[in-house]
A and B are shown apart, each in its own frame.
Chain A
Amino acid sequence: MTTATLVPPPPPLSPMLARLADERATGALLRDHGTLYLDDGQVVHAESPAAPGLEVLLDGRLPQEGWQEAFDLAGPDGRVGRYLVDSGRLADGELELAHLGVLFDAAYFVLGPGGGPTRFRHGVAHWMGPVRPVPTRVLARECLRRRELLDALWPYPETDDSPVVRADTDFPYPVTRRQQDVLDLADGVRTPADIARLLGRAAFHTLVDVRRLAAVGAVATPQETPVPAPVALPQWMPQVTEDPDVALLRRLRNALEAL
């Protein structure tokens, strides 16, 4: 028996990223929401202001002195990751899993829509050094899958970067322990990214929790764009004509012609 397999369309990898991968480029790809670091055409690191870094996710596991020591000794050679393992500060698999988590988390924001123009600086390397390089195609496919996952949960992207507001009701929503942690920090000011940082969790994971919470009604879904309050017309306008815009335009035209 043969099974028919549906071939999915190729992921929308940005042409620039595809070209850099083909050229096996090394350097930094800069966009509005962060930076991707490439080494030999593969992604080795990513950082974004929206996503907590490795130092946040490994808080409690690796003290500040550990980072400082690794940074001082191995930073100049761009081998901090390797040093953390070789010096026994972190186990191989532990660093790899934490680093992959950070890389995919930050890349989701860097490669997100509306990230502005893309620039590439050849030859720039991150001080972390390669841990487990990720092919650009794998990264692009995963970013797309994540976007689809969020939209499948609750199709309101505004939820992602607006302050998280708890719904004003006593109804006991069925939330998990992890979601409750998010809810406990929702003070109507903090965004999902702020909450992720406080919890020491990946930002994307918090987006998932917030969309699920919005879907069950435990947090409010923000309006897409706040409707601007109607501007009060000057007192004289309605007296001139029923259609103030036309009158205003006529007056402007007349004034301009008189110049």
Chain B
Amino acid sequence: MANTEAALKEAMTSIEGTVGVALVDYTSGMALGTAGGSKELDLTVAAAGNTDVVRAKVRTMELLGLNEDIEDILITLDSQYHLIRLLKGRGNNGLFLYLALDKGRANLAMARHQLKKIENELEV
């Protein structure tokens, strides 16, 4: 069990091609922790904006009557992958991990697997 900072740093170093990672509260849109990022990728802005993506999907599923949980959401850009993984903690306050990957260097299957591992480390 790691603290937030350690878990996010681990994501940065262990997931190949990671550009930035953030742990986000999806009701308020606040980033509880970030690692990486750049001038082109402001993680606090990305955190707040992606809450709308998650909310829209949650709502759509509820409207469709799909009684399922979202494991992750993948957004593919020209040069990046953005991966959103919803945390299913005991205290489930609605948190998600947001990972931006360099498309040229990343292995998507591996990244998803490792993000799952980091989720387990963050929770108990």
User: What residues on B are CB-neighbors of A113 within 8 Å?
Assistant: none
A-B contact pairs, 17 of them (CB 8 A): A57-B93, A92-B3, A93-B3, A94-B89, A94-B123, A97-B122, A98-B91, A100-B32, A132-B3, A145-B30, A149-B29, A149-B48, A176-B55, A176-B62, A202-B93, A204-B28, A205-B28
Total interface residues on B, CB under 8 Å, equals: 30
Known interface pairs A61-B91, A145-B48; 14 further A-B residue pairs with C-beta atoms within 8 A, sorted by A's residue number? A57-B91, A92-B2, A93-B1, A93-B7, A94-B1, A96-B4, A97-B122, A101-B93, A132-B3, A149-B48, A176-B62, A205-B93, A205-B94, A208-B27
What is the distance, in angstroms, from B32's C-beta to the closest C-beta of chain A? 6
Q: Which one, A94, A146, A149, contacts B91 given CB within 8 A? A: A94
What is the distance, in angstroms, from A190's C-beta to the closest C-beta of chain B? 19
Is B106 at the interface (CB under 8 A from chain A)? Answer: no
Complexed CA–CA distance, A97 and B96 (Å): 12
Is A215 at the interface (CB under 8 A from chain B)? Answer: no
Is B25 at the interface (CB under 8 A from chain A)? Answer: yes
Q: Which one, B3, B28, B32, B59, contacts A149 given CB within 8 A? A: B28
Interface positions of B (Cβ within 8 A of A): 1-4, 7, 23, 25, 27-30, 32, 39-40, 48, 55, 58-59, 62-63, 89-91, 93-95, 121-124
Chain A interface mostly = helix
Q: A142 touching B30 by the CB < 8 A rule?
A: yes
User: What residues on B are CB-neighbors of A37 within 8 Å?
Assistant: none
Complexed CA–CA distance, A100 and B48 (Å): 17
User: What residues on B are CB-neighbors of A149 within 8 Å?
Assistant: 28-29, 48
Q: B91 touching A93 by the CB < 8 A rule?
A: no
Q: B27 touching A205 by the CB < 8 A rule?
A: yes
What is the distance, in angstroms, from A3's C-beta to the closest C-beta of chain B? 6
Is A58 at the interface (CB under 8 A from chain B)? Answer: yes
What is the distance, in angstroms, from A257's C-beta to the closest C-beta of chain B? 63
Total interface residues on A, CB under 8 Å, equals: 30
User: What residues on A are CB-neighbors of B30 within 8 Å?
Assistant: 104, 142, 145-146
Is A177 at the interface (CB under 8 A from chain B)? Answer: yes
Top 5 nearest A-B pairs (CB, nearest first) are: A91-B1, A205-B27, A91-B124, A92-B3, A93-B122
User: What residues on A are CB-neighbors of B63 within 8 Å?
Assistant: 174
A155-196 contacts to B, CB under 8 A, are 174, 176-178
Q: B91 touching A3 by the CB < 8 A rule?
A: no
Complexed CA–CA distance, A176 and B58 (Å): 8
User: What residues on A are CB-neighbors of B90 within 8 Å?
Assistant: 61
Q: Name the residue on B nearest A180 (C-beta).
A: B62
Is A5 at the interface (CB under 8 A from chain B)? Answer: yes
A58-101 contacts to B, CB under 8 A, are 58, 61, 91-94, 96-98, 100-101
Q: B7 touching A174 by the CB < 8 A rule?
A: no
User: What residues on A are CB-neighbors of B91 within 8 Å?
Assistant: 57-58, 61, 94, 97-98
Q: A93 touching B123 by the CB < 8 A rule?
A: yes
What is the distance, in angstroms, from B45's C-beta to the closest C-beta of chain A? 10
Q: Which one, B7, B40, B122, contacts A3 given CB within 8 A? A: B40
User: What residues on B are CB-neighbors of A209 within 8 Å?
Assistant: 27
Q: B3 touching A96 by the CB < 8 A rule?
A: yes
User: What residues on B are CB-neighbors of A174 within 8 Å?
Assistant: 59, 63
Q: B25 touching A176 by the CB < 8 A rule?
A: no
